[in-house]
Amino acid sequence: MTQAPAAVRGAAIHCDAVVHLYPNAGGDVVALRGVDLDVEGGTAIALLGPSGSGKSTLLALLAGLLRPSSGHVLVGSHDLTRCSNRQLLELRGNEISLMVQEPMRNLLGFATAVQNIEFAQRGVRRRRRQPLPFGPEQLLERLGMAEVAHDTVAQLSGGEQQRVAIAAAAAVAPSLLLLDEPTSELDRISRDRVLELVLTVHRELGTTLVVVTHDPAVASAMPRSVSIRDGRIGAEGRSGEEYAVVGRDGSVQLPSDVLGWIPAGTLLRVHRHSAGVDLRSPELESDGD
Ligand code: ADP
């Protein structure tokens, strides 16, 4: 980077009882069933969970692309649920940057890699009236793509397109950067370069980072992970420690590996003590005798 990075204020996230339904002729699909989530501004989290658990829906809500069926979504000082469509468009242009899955949905196929990034930066630079910290060529070089910087994006491989899409999303120095499976098409070397770039943006600029991923290497590079299952946040990982999250209704999701030996429907006895509760299966206890 040639210019000193200008700090942005990483946007805090606050989701309050967020429910999202997709209307469907055969019955509505409930994608999120009451998500409560707080992320401090300037932090980085990985969003984990099986396919269909609601991760992309949550990202689309955080980007203001969808409106929740109920509940509130706040990004920085903006309550996205109360913003007009125009305000949401402005937020997406200025502060929130989303890279969706399938790289070409983020890109102009007929333009070159550099032009795609310039296009992403153009409006933001004008509105902020100050230079952006990353130039297109530097970003592409950091991602090992200097040689294809002036190639038309439609002619690039899937992995190269993915890296251009990430560069374009990061290039605007957003206060919130949302990436949906950014390394799904990449080999290990490219994945490491992408990780380094997004963590640089996060650390040097203060950008809040939310990365949906199935890649354990990406997840472990984030200081905090949040796991969604069946439209609910069930677990968190912080500094390598695993935590279950107590839902508003008192529900707690057991880790999926535990479900292998304590299946749904198992009766667990609740033992209260000063540090919390233990859940014990009388059957398993007697098996162990
Ligand atoms: P993930 O990102 O974890 O794979 P999604 O947020 O894409 O999960 O999907 C959550 C649920 O919502 C799934 O059951 C999925 O089939 C459903 N879903 C997602 N998008 C739509 C849509 N546009 N219309 C109807 N159902 C949808």
- Per-residue pLDDT tens, the chain, 289 aa: give them: 444 555 568 999 999 999 999 999 989 999 999 999 999 999 999 999 999 999 999 999 999 999 999 999 999 999 999 999 999 999 998 899 999 999 999 999 999 999 999 999 988 877 777 778 889 999 999 999 999 999 999 999 999 999 999 999 999 999 999 999 999 989 999 999 999 999 999 998 899 999 999 999 999 999 999 999 999 999 999 988 999 999 988 999 998 889 888 999 999 999 999 999 999 988 888 776 5
Q: What does residue 81 show for φ and ψ, rounded to 5 degrees?
A: -70, -15
Pairing of strands 224-229, 176-180: unpaired
Exposure letters 193-226 (e unless 16+ CB within 10 A, then b): bbbebbebbbebbbbbbbbbbebeebbebbeebb
Residue 31 near ligand 1, beta carbon < 6 Å: yes
Contact between residue 177 and residue 201 where contact means Cβ atoms under 8 Å apart:
yes
How far is the first Cα of the chain from the last one, in angstroms, to the nearest whole number? 64
Identity of residue 268: L
Give the Cα separation of 26 and 97 in Å (integer). 34
- Find out whether the beta carbon of 56 lies less than 6 Å from any atom of ligand 1: yes
- Closest C-alpha among 180, 227, 175 to residue 201: 175
Q: Residues 223-269: pLDDT tens digits? A: 999 999 999 999 999 988 999 999 988 999 998 889 888 999 999 99
Cα–Cα distance between 146 and 150 in angstroms, integer?
A: 8
CA-closest residue to ligand 1 atom 17: 31
Q: Note the pLDDT of residue 43.
A: 95
Kindly calculate the radius of gyration of the chain based on its CA atoms and give it in whole angstroms: 21
d(CA 190, CA 175): 24
Q: What's the CA-to-centroid distance between 94 and ligand 1, angstroms?
A: 27
From the alpha carbon of 24, which atom of ligand 1 is closest?
A: 25
- Atom of ligand 1 lying closest to residue 57 CA: 6
Using alpha carbons only, give the angle 165, 209, 189 rounded to the nearest 5 degrees.
55
pLDDT value at residue 2 = 45
The residue whose C-alpha atom lies closest to atom 27 belonging to ligand 1 is: 22
Position 40 scores a pLDDT of 96
- Which sign does the torsion angle of CA 111, 117, 118, 124 carry? positive
Ligand 1, atom nearest to 228 Cα: 3
What is the pTM (predicted TM-score) of this model? 0.92
54 lines ligand 1 (CB under 6 A): yes
Instruction: Report yes or no: 234 and 253 within 8 Å, Cβ to Cβ.
Output: yes
54 Cα: distance to centroid of ligand 1 (angstroms): 6
Beta carbon of 234 within 6 Å of any ligand 1 atom: no
Dihedral of CA atoms 123, 126, 127, 133 in degrees, nearest 10, equals: 90
